[in-house]
Amino acid sequence: MADAQLILALDQGTTSSRAIAFDREGRAVATAQQPFEQRYPEPGHVTHDPEAIWASQLAVARSVVAQVGGARRIAAIGIANQRETTIVWERDTGRPVADAIVWQSRVTAPRCDALGAAGLEPLFRERTGLPLDAYFSGPKIAQILDGGPTLRPSSDLRRRAERGELAFGTVDAFLLWRLTGGQVHATDPSNASRTLLFDIHRLAWDDELLGHVGVPRVVLPEVRPTSGRFGETSAALFGRAIPIAALAGDQQAATFGQAAFAAGQAKNTYGTGAFLLLNTGSRAVTSGHGLLSTVLWQLGAGEPARYALEGSVFAAGAAVQWLRDGLRAIDSAPEVEALASEVSDSGGVYLVPAFTGLGAPYWDPYARGTIVGLTRGTGLPELARATLESIALQVGDVVEAMVADGAPRPTELRVDGGAAANDLLLQLQADVLGVQVARPRVLETTALGAAYLAGLAIGFWSDLAEIGAHWSLDRRFEPAIGPERRRRLVTDWRRAVERARGWAAPGEELGM
Ligand code: ADP
């Protein structure tokens, strides 16, 4: 009997590249991972060598293909990627003209400030769903074309771009270009919607926004549906051509991997930061409360896009890292659970982990980490518990912002990411939200989502119902405190956040 077919997911993350092969039941059957170098050329600036991204991604893909017995086992490839990270390369050689500017980099903050000072924030918000923040790709493209202190000072890049010699891509498009041997230059709406250049309502690049940001249209990739045939890998890479059938930003892919297909469904990923996405269906909700409005996916040509409200919290697992590396209260991140469980509450202590400012919904680059409510009775267990509570409370703030924007309160929060292994954290999350928290068996939801999107395009899976049926529960956490205690917790947390805000002097903003 021929070996069963598989879908290969490429999960190109900020610190590592991963490849996972999934079977028809959505089970991971082979996996490989490789970290790559992070570059910090100056404070607040982060870059990647695009060749390191490519080399690590190709190596893990080849490893998984070899583990499963060769490319004949792979029916299609789906790609999920770190979002917003910006690469510009030469069309004729495929060579990058500069290092990738990583999403975390603040190097384009002055460009965004200038656009804001020109009164353009409402225009960008309305068309793109995004605030004018250094996080997003468009100004990073302009930065590369104009050169800069830490980029190769090549004065003719802008002219070369205008002549059509250069191509821009987020990491999805760069990998697609490389995998197809330069045959296909395309991206999908979930990635395009993070550029500040893409009209999320018309699903098209916007010439007026391109003009404001200073990006020539000829560098842009074609935008195609998230799930669909993008092209084939060059036969030389894996021994035979494999169809590439999906591109999606990592958080949108994770939402798909969580089978949060219906409006009102939400997922939260607890990694270094936390990313909560609420599916708002075919409606792009413009946030008045510090959230982003973003495209989730488009499942076929002519199909309407699905949208989400998104809130990003900068420090989630990072707060646990601080307990480990800064305070040395624990030796490894999972130990936080036992330490925090030594006490039944934090004794009135609140920790606001605003190490690099606060993200959604506060967007305060001047906030700094703060601990309030210390007494002589406070010990490491109380601090550990306050740390876990701070993660849950920040996610709670994002949910409240969504409700304030008019979204219905989700009835369940699906969770994933490294820190979702922590039972106490998820119990605290259910308590803070007053909503059930559901952890699936498969926590590799980003790769799984990319696989599902690719498999859907080639008929490996027939529809969303079939995919949704794979979602299986590991454990559900029910709210265990009453509304009175919940209100008290949230009120005190907000008072602690107020004390953390505006602490650093202007000029000391770290933004991310
Ligand atoms: P990323 O993709 O952002 O690198 P991961 O999803 O791998 O993050 O999760 C790692 C983060 O989760 C780290 O910040 C770590 O401190 C935290 N973490 C890992 N395990 C636990 C745990 N059991 N309890 C709390 N935090 C944890």
Residue to mutate (ligand 1; options 16, 272, 336; most atoms within 8 A of CB): 272
Residue 509 has pLDDT above 70, yes or no: no
Q: CB pairs under 8 A, 24+ apart, for 366-371?
A: 366/501, 366/502, 366/503, 366/504, 366/505, 366/506, 366/508, 366/509, 367/497, 367/500, 367/501, 367/502, 367/503, 367/504, 368/500, 368/503, 368/504, 369/322, 369/500, 370/496, 370/499, 370/500, 370/503
Q: Whose CA is nearest to atom 1 of ligand 1?
A: 271
Rounded CA separation 239/442 (Å): 30
> Is the minimum distance from the CB of 333 to ligand 1 under 6 angstroms?
yes
Ranking 46-50, 193-197, 501-505 by mean pLDDT, the lowest is: 501-505
> Is the minimum distance from the CB of 341 to ligand 1 under 6 angstroms?
no
State pLDDT tens for residues 224-274.
999 999 999 999 999 999 999 999 999 999 999 999 999 999 999 998 889
Give the H/E segment covering residue 109.
helix 109-117
Residue 153 has pLDDT above 60, yes or no: no
Tell me the average pLDDT across 320-335.
95
Residue 482 has pLDDT above 50, yes or no: yes
Rounded CA separation 266/411 (Å): 9
State pLDDT tens for residues 268-294.
999 888 999 999 999 999 899 999 999
> Is the minimum distance from the CB of 422 to ligand 1 under 6 angstroms?
yes
Residue 152 has pLDDT above 80, yes or no: no
Q: CB pairs under 8 A, 24+ apart, for 118-121?
A: 118/212, 120/212
> Is the minimum distance from the CB of 336 to ligand 1 under 6 angstroms?
yes
Q: Whose CA is nearest to atom 27 of ligand 1?
A: 419
Nearest to 83 by CA among 196, 203, 172: 172
Q: Whose CA is nearest to atom 15 of ligand 1?
A: 317
> Cis link prior to 361 (omega < 30° from 0)?
yes
Q: Which two tokens stand for residue 218?
A: 């000829």
Residue 177 has pLDDT above 60, yes or no: yes
Residue 151 has pLDDT above 60, yes or no: no
> Residues of the chain with pLDDT > 70: what percent?
97
Residue to mutate (ligand 1; options 422, 425, 429; most atoms within 8 A of CB): 422
Tell me the average pLDDT across 348-361.
92
pLDDT at 51: 97
Nearest to 271 by CA among 414, 417, 388: 417
At 149, is the pLDDT very low, low, confident or very high (cuts 50, 70, 90)?
A: very low
> Is the minimum distance from the CB of 357 to ligand 1 under 6 angstroms?
no
pLDDT at 4: 82
DSSP 44: T
pLDDT at 506: 65
DSSP 360: T
Nearest to 140 by CA among 171, 179, 162: 171
Query: Atom of ligand 1 at shortest distance to CA of 269?
Result: 6
Distance linking the first and last C-alpha atoms of the chain:
53
Q: 297 φ, ψ to 5°?
A: -175, 165
pLDDT at 485: 94
Q: Which two tokens stand for residue 407?
A: 């979204």
Rounded CA separation 72/493 (Å): 55
Q: Cβ atoms within 10 A of the Cβ of 118, count?
A: 11
pLDDT at 447: 97
> Is the minimum distance from the CB of 419 to ligand 1 under 6 angstroms?
yes
Which residue shows structure tokens 């390191």? 52
State pLDDT tens for residues 80-136.
999 999 999 999 999 999 999 998 888 888 899 999 999 999 999 999 999 998 889
AA letter at 365: P
> Is the minimum distance from the CB of 367 to ligand 1 under 6 angstroms?
no
Give the H/E segment covering residue 442.
none
> Residues of the chain with pLDDT > 90: what percent?
84
Which residue shows structure tokens 């609140």? 350
Share in percent of the chain as helix, strand, coil (round to 5): 35, 25, 40
Mean per-residue pLDDT of the chain? 94
CA distances from 449 to 34, 239, 469 (A): 20, 26, 14
Residue to mutate (ligand 1; options 320, 356, 428; most atoms within 8 A of CB): 320
> Is the minimum distance from the CB of 139 to ligand 1 under 6 angstroms?
no
The answer to whether the beta carbons of residues 141 and 219 sit under 8 Å apart is yes
At 511, is the pLDDT very low, low, confident or very high (cuts 50, 70, 90)?
A: very low
Task: Compute the distance from residue 451 Cα to the ligand 1 centre, in Å.
Answer: 23
Q: 252 φ, ψ to 5°?
A: -70, -40
Which residue shows structure tokens 């969303």? 464
Alpha helix ranges (H) inside 198-310: 207-213, 235-238, 250-257
Rounded CA separation 318/291 (Å): 21
State pLDDT tens for residues 1-32.
457 899 999 999 988 999 999 999 999 999 99
Higher pLDDT, 356 or 497: 497
Rounded CA separation 506/50 (Å): 33
Nearest to 65 by CA among 253, 233, 256: 233
Which residue shows structure tokens 């695009």? 50
Residue 451 has pLDDT above 80, yes or no: yes
Q: Whose CA is nearest to atom 21 of ligand 1?
A: 419
The dihedral through the CA atoms of 226, 227, 232, 238 has a sign that is positive
> Is the minimum distance from the CB of 68 to ligand 1 under 6 angstroms?
no
Task: Compute the distance from residue 268 Cα to the ligand 1 centre, in Å.
Answer: 13
pLDDT at 1: 42
Residues facing 476 on adjacent strands: 438
CA angle 139, 141, 146 (to 5 degrees): 95
State pLDDT tens for residues 35-79.
999 888 887 788 999 999 999 999 999 999 999 999 999 999 999
Nearest to 446 by CA among 31, 52, 1: 31
